[in-house]
Amino acid sequence: MKEKNSAEQLQQGGSFFRLMMIYLIVCSIGFTVMMICVNKLMKEHDKTLTTQICDLVAEKMNNSISYMTSSAENMAAMLTAQELKDFDNVYGQTRFLKGEAYISMGFVDMQKRIYASDSELEEFEKWDLLEISKQADPVSISPPYRSGLTGQPVFTLFANITYGGNKKGKLFMTYPLKEIQNIAYTETLADETEIWLMNAESDNLIQCAGKDKYAVGSWANAGLTFEKNINESDRDDYLDWKQKMSDGEDGAALVYKSGQTGYTQVFADIPSMHGWKLVVRIPSSAMSSAMMKFRTIVIVFTTLLLLATFIMFVMSHKRDEADKEILENLSIHDPLTEVMNRRAFDMAAQTQLAHIGRDDGVMIFIDIDYFKTVNDKYGHDAGDKVLKEFAALLKDVFGENSLIARYGGDEFLVFQKGADRAEAEEKMVELNRRAHDIRPANCPEDDHYHVSCSCGGAVCPENSRDFEELKSLADSALYDVKERGRDGHGWYAKGSGK
Amino acid sequence: MKRLVAAVLCLNITAGLTGCQQPQKKPAVEPAPPFKAVGDTVSGRKDIYLIVKNLGSSYWQVIIDGAEDAAEEFGCNMYYSGSNAESDWRSQERLLDEAVEAGADAVLLAPNDAVELAPKIDEVHDAGVKVVLIDTTANTENYDICYMTDNLMAGQLAAKEMLKQLKNSGNSLADPLKVGIQVGAQTSLSINERLAGFLQYWTRNAPVDWVIVPDIKCNDGDYEKAVTCAAELFDEEPDIKGVFGTNNGSGKGFAKEIKKRGLNDVVLVSFDYSQEVAELIQSDEYTASTILQRQYHMVHTGVETALSLTAGKHFNEKFVDTGVVVVNRNNMQTAEIQEILSHS
């Protein structure tokens, strides 16, 4: 029985372990799926948000360029309203004026005479600025070039101006490139946002804003800056994006990875700067840094929760096992003698009889003779001790493989599966003999009282295969033994019993 | 079962966490040596410190020679040092500190990185030391004056020369044609401006079917790599008709590979002067040109200006284009070119 219990426990333990493994795997798969979903959502979120931010930054940059072109237009309109005869006087008055933003201001008259400093005249010739001035409709912007006055990259705005009746001239204003950044600057994501002017045809870039303020004004090449560093899988997307730029589209967005860093990049048209586009780039991580923290918290929390649940399950299982063992012991065993109780014996014996097949089996009813005397004479504690010692003797005599139960106060029932009459008889003789060795506690030396017992047996299948009947026949046999004077054993025979 | 659990947990970690990027190792560069006096030093004279980009280059040796001549001519103490690679801006940063500590009156600097060195230039200028930039400007306004080639314009001249030589070589304007480019560094302001100028001119003036090979090679200032880059380009684009080297090393790399392969139908346009490029220019077999900067003039005028600045003189302009000269087979023997080459 004990072996069977152990095997069952092992089996139960194994199934619990498997259950826990399944639980862990299911949780882990669920966790993995959740993280994949979170990562995907974060990427989608980053992509959408960074594209929107890039668009906004591009719009803001374009607005800042428009602000400058408007300034030039307004200045030209104001001077046109003054009905200037020529630019001599006005240039003389304005050449030393320093605006808050622009470096210098001058004019080009209808005869292409340029009203500018010597240094600027050189720059007009060097960079063919007259050609740019012709593109003013009503404003045009030159590509960036290095100013002799400041040593920094600048660009020149041209606006149409009317003078001398109906003569058409140009007003020009030269701004440092940094001014675009100053106007468009925003603290939000300032360190993450990179802004360039890009020439779609030549692949030339000039940086307007970026993480490093000193990089502003640097020339670069789109092929070396973007294309060479883009991961192979995203290169075609980049080429499509560039093609849209070359095709003259107003704007397009691109998402790509450069090494481990993901970027969102948009371009926007600059209406008054022919051939040039505004390019804004933000690393996708700029958006996800907050989400990354959240994701880390989710990972840690979920892992701890999983671990805590696992530990709780294991602890709960262990406690259940212990409780179950106690309950099982209580439900199967007689708490005093630790042999089976009546209900457990009945179930076990019936099960064994149902599967006994051709085997023999013996049912033995055993009664401690005059047990009431022991209680009366030596006390209940002594009686309990006698019962315990007698139960232990039964186990010793009939062995662990027999079913042994305390069936009533001093009545015991034994079922020996596989035993025949002869074997059982030997055991009963031994029991009768060894029972005499049991003496109640507190029994004085000169008191020669000793325990004895009576045993009545019935044989399966000879007498019956039915448990109740077999039990009843064994009881009858016991009755006969008692009738014969107790302290002995006997077998059921037809006509015996009460 | 345990393996399965381990696999699932690994999957979790992979799904949950992003990968880490391993830092890339950079090749070690010999640090810059301490400042060395050029010629005699005399107590009481102004101390001018010259910091060049690459001590091992003939181009920069001309600068050092020019500084020595100017020191002798204008009567000042001249000290010089520089990095051993044009990518090494950190050495220059250290040299700037050392110059200030040594009590420099003025510093002549050719910055290796216009962006990275800008904060240090601010610091030196704010400390009251006159800063004259030569050859390359920096992305700051805190310097006194800069003598350099307008590299954007020089790049345009290079493209103009390339177009001229390609046409002279008999290439049809209607036929497709490819031109390859090699740069010495991606962080050099000068090189980036030359490249931008070249591309700007090319897109405006080249025939539609004459295209630039999109894969622009970068040799990181390493001559051996420049030769490898040139070889790669010629292997990848066997029908290439023109190559542009944005700096001395890139031009040398192209010249070596052109000569080795006997590519006499390839036009080379380079910057600065080297024996390898000069051989091609002088040869009747090959077509090569180079854009010569006036580096001797840069440093000579730079030293003179530095002394004027220390004497309290103010200059209106912050940027002076010292100009370039295109050298090819036709003008190589002229007196003007020979005079410039005598300092090259």
| CATH code for position A276 | 3.30.450.20
CB burial readout A195-208, b (16+ within 10 A) else e = bbbbbbebbbbbbb
Within this chain, do residues A460 and A369 fall inside the same structural domain, yes or no?
A: yes
Mark yes or no for CB contact B319/A220 under 8 Å: no
> Are A419 and A356 contacting, i.e. CB atoms less than 8 angstroms apart?
no
B204: alpha, beta or left? (left if phi > 0; alpha if psi -120 to 50): alpha
- Out of B8, B146, B153, the one facing A151 most closely (by C-beta) is B146
pLDDT over 70 at A247, yes or no: yes
When computed from its CA atoms, the radius of gyration of chain B, rounded to whole angstroms, is 23
Cβ-proximal residues to A90 (8 Å cutoff; 6+ apart), any chain: A79, A82, A84, A107
Predicted pLDDT of residue B233: 97
CATH (domain of A390): 3.30.70.270
Mark yes or no for CB contact A259/B21 under 8 Å: yes
The average pLDDT across A315-320 equals 84
Per-residue pLDDT reduced to its tens digit, A230-244: 999 999 999 999 999
Q: Which domain holds residue A191?
A: 185-286
- The rounded distance, in Å, linking the Cα atoms of A362 and B265 is 115
What residues of chain B score a pLDDT lower than 70?
A: 1-28, 344
The amino acid at residue B274 is S
pLDDT over 80 at A101, yes or no: no
A15-34 residues touching B, CB cutoff 8 A: 18, 21, 24-25, 28-29, 31-32
Q: What residues are paired with A109 via a beta bridge? A: none
Strands A403-406 and A276-283: unpaired
For residue A37, give how far its alpha carbon lies from the nearest alpha carbon of chain B (Å). 9
A265-304 residues touching B, CB cutoff 8 A: 295, 299
Cβ–Cβ contact B42 with A under 8 A? no
Mark yes or no for CB contact B18/A260 under 8 Å: yes
> Are A227 and A238 contacting, i.e. CB atoms less than 8 angstroms apart?
yes
The phi, psi pair for A327, rounded to 5°, reads: -65, -40
- Could you tell me how many CB contacts below 8 A there are between chain A and chain B? 128
The average pLDDT across A427-437 equals 94
B170-189 residues touching A, CB cutoff 8 A: 183, 186, 189
The phi, psi pair for B195, rounded to 5°, reads: -60, -45
Peptide bond before B31: cis, by omega within 30 degrees of 0?
no
Q: Transcribe B159-174 into DSSP letters.
A: HHHHHHHHHHTT--TT
pLDDT over 80 at A292, yes or no: no
Within this chain, do residues A156 and A194 fall inside the same structural domain, yes or no?
A: no
> Shortest CA distance to A214 belongs to which of A156, A152, A258?
A152
pLDDT band at A9 (very low <50, low <70, confident <90, very high): low
B153-172 residues touching A, CB cutoff 8 A: 153
Cβ–Cβ contact A101 with B under 8 A? no
Mark yes or no for CB contact B216/A119 under 8 Å: no
Determine what percent of chain B is predicted with pLDDT higher than 90.
Answer: 73
The average pLDDT across A301-312 equals 87
| Architecture of the domain made up of B36-148+295-313 | 3-Layer(aba) Sandwich (3.40)
Q: Which of A136, A158, A180 is the last residue of a domain?
A: A180
Mark yes or no for CB contact A28/B320 under 8 Å: no
Residue of chain A whose alpha carbon sits nearest to that of B190? A219
How many domains, in total, are found in chain A?
Answer: 4
Distances (CA, A) of B4 to A21, A32, A33, A178, A308: 9, 14, 16, 59, 21
Cβ–Cβ contact B228 with A under 8 A? no
For residue A220, give how far its alpha carbon lies from the nearest alpha carbon of chain B (Å). 5
Chain B residues touching A21 at Cβ < 8 A: 1, 4-5
Strands A153-163 and A139-141: antiparallel
For the record, the structure tokens of A140 come out as 């045009």
Cβ-proximal residues to A216 (8 Å cutoff; 6+ apart), any chain: A177, A178, A181, A207, A208, A209, A210, B139
Cβ-proximal residues to A391 (8 Å cutoff; 6+ apart), any chain: A334, A337, A338, A339, A404, A406, A412
Whether A59 maps to a domain, the answer reads no
Determine what percent of chain A is predicted with pLDDT higher than 90.
Answer: 32
Whether A55 maps to a domain, the answer reads no
Q: Give the DSSP letter of residue A406.
A: E
For residue B285, give how far its alpha carbon lies from the nearest alpha carbon of chain A (Å). 32
Per-residue pLDDT reduced to its tens digit, A162-191: 998 889 999 999 988 888 777 666 666 667
Cβ–Cβ contact B326 with A under 8 A? no
Predicted pLDDT of residue B8: 44
Give the DSSP H or E segment for A196: strand A194-199
- Out of A29, A119, A203, the one facing B199 most closely (by C-beta) is A203
Cβ–Cβ contact B142 with A under 8 A? no
Cβ–Cβ contact A222 with B under 8 A? no
Peptide bond before A138: cis, by omega within 30 degrees of 0?
yes
Chain A residues touching B218 at Cβ < 8 A: 224
When computed from its CA atoms, the radius of gyration of chain A, rounded to whole angstroms, is 53
**Mean model confidence pLDDT for chain A:** 85
Within this chain, do residues A415 and A444 fall inside the same structural domain, yes or no?
A: yes
Determine what percent of chain A is predicted with pLDDT higher than 70.
Answer: 91
- Out of A205, A217, A259, the one facing B139 most closely (by C-beta) is A217
Task: Of A107-116, A328-337, B25-34, B246-255, give the lowest mean pLDDT range.
Answer: B25-34
Predicted pLDDT of residue B236: 96
Q: What residues are paired with A416 via a beta bridge? A: A362
Residue of chain A whose alpha carbon sits nearest to that of B323? A126
Mark yes or no for CB contact B5/A150 under 8 Å: no
Cβ–Cβ contact B276 with A under 8 A? no
Chain A residues touching B200 at Cβ < 8 A: 143, 199, 202, 204
Predicted pLDDT of residue A184: 62
Q: Which of A180, A205, A237 is the last residue of a domain?
A: A180
Please, what is the Cα angle at A332 between A328 and A337, to 5 degrees? 120
Whether A293 maps to a domain, the answer reads no
- The rounded distance, in Å, linking the Cα atoms of B173 and B97 is 54
pLDDT band at A62 (very low <50, low <70, confident <90, very high): confident
Whether A200 maps to a domain, the answer reads yes
Within this chain, do residues A281 and A316 fall inside the same structural domain, yes or no?
A: no
For residue A314, give how far its alpha carbon lies from the nearest alpha carbon of chain B (Å). 17
- Out of B12, B192, B204, the one facing A219 most closely (by C-beta) is B192
pLDDT band at A287 (very low <50, low <70, confident <90, very high): low
Q: Is the pTM of this model over 0.80?
A: no
Predicted pLDDT of residue B108: 98
Within this chain, do residues A452 and A407 fall inside the same structural domain, yes or no?
A: yes
A68-97 residues touching B, CB cutoff 8 A: none
3-class secondary-structure state, position A268: strand
User: CATH classification of B151-293+328-341, choosing from 1.20.1250.20, 2.40.30.20, 3.40.50.2300, 3.40.640.10?
Assistant: 3.40.50.2300
Cβ-proximal residues to B233 (8 Å cutoff; 6+ apart), any chain: B180, B182, B213, B215, B217, B240, B243
Predicted pLDDT of residue B17: 40
Q: Give the DSSP letter of residue B112.
A: S
Whether A76 maps to a domain, the answer reads no
pLDDT band at A13 (very low <50, low <70, confident <90, very high): low
Cβ–Cβ contact B218 with A under 8 A? yes
- The rounded distance, in Å, linking the Cα atoms of A368 and A17 is 47
Within this chain, do residues A388 and A465 fall inside the same structural domain, yes or no?
A: yes
Chain A residues touching B138 at Cβ < 8 A: 214
For residue A202, give how far its alpha carbon lies from the nearest alpha carbon of chain B (Å). 5
For the record, the structure tokens of B329 come out as 């087979």
Mark yes or no for CB contact A29/B8 under 8 Å: yes
Helix axis angle, B58-74 to B295-310, nearest 10°: 40
Within this chain, do residues A473 and A377 fall inside the same structural domain, yes or no?
A: yes
The amino acid at residue A470 is L
Whether A54 maps to a domain, the answer reads no
Predicted pLDDT of residue B16: 41
- The rounded distance, in Å, linking the Cα atoms of A193 and A57 is 9
Within this chain, do residues A403 and A473 fall inside the same structural domain, yes or no?
A: yes
Mark yes or no for CB contact B143/A151 under 8 Å: yes
Within this chain, do residues A272 and A311 fall inside the same structural domain, yes or no?
A: no
Assess whether the region B36-148+295-313 and the region B151-293+328-341 belong to the same CATH fold: yes
For the record, the structure tokens of A137 come out as 């409709």
Chain A residues touching B119 at Cβ < 8 A: 214
Predicted pLDDT of residue B173: 94
CB-count exposure of residue A15 (10 Å: 0-12, 13-18, 19+) = exposed
Gap between the terminal Cα atoms of chain A: 34
B60-119 residues touching A, CB cutoff 8 A: 114-116, 118-119
Whether A77 maps to a domain, the answer reads no
Within this chain, do residues A347 and A483 fall inside the same structural domain, yes or no?
A: yes
The average pLDDT across A33-47 equals 80
Per-residue pLDDT reduced to its tens digit, B181-197: 999 988 777 899 999 99
- Can you give the residue ranges of every domain in chain B? 36-148+295-313, 151-293+328-341
3-class secondary-structure state, position B132: strand
Within this chain, do residues A131 and A14 fall inside the same structural domain, yes or no?
A: no
Within this chain, do residues A475 and A445 fall inside the same structural domain, yes or no?
A: yes
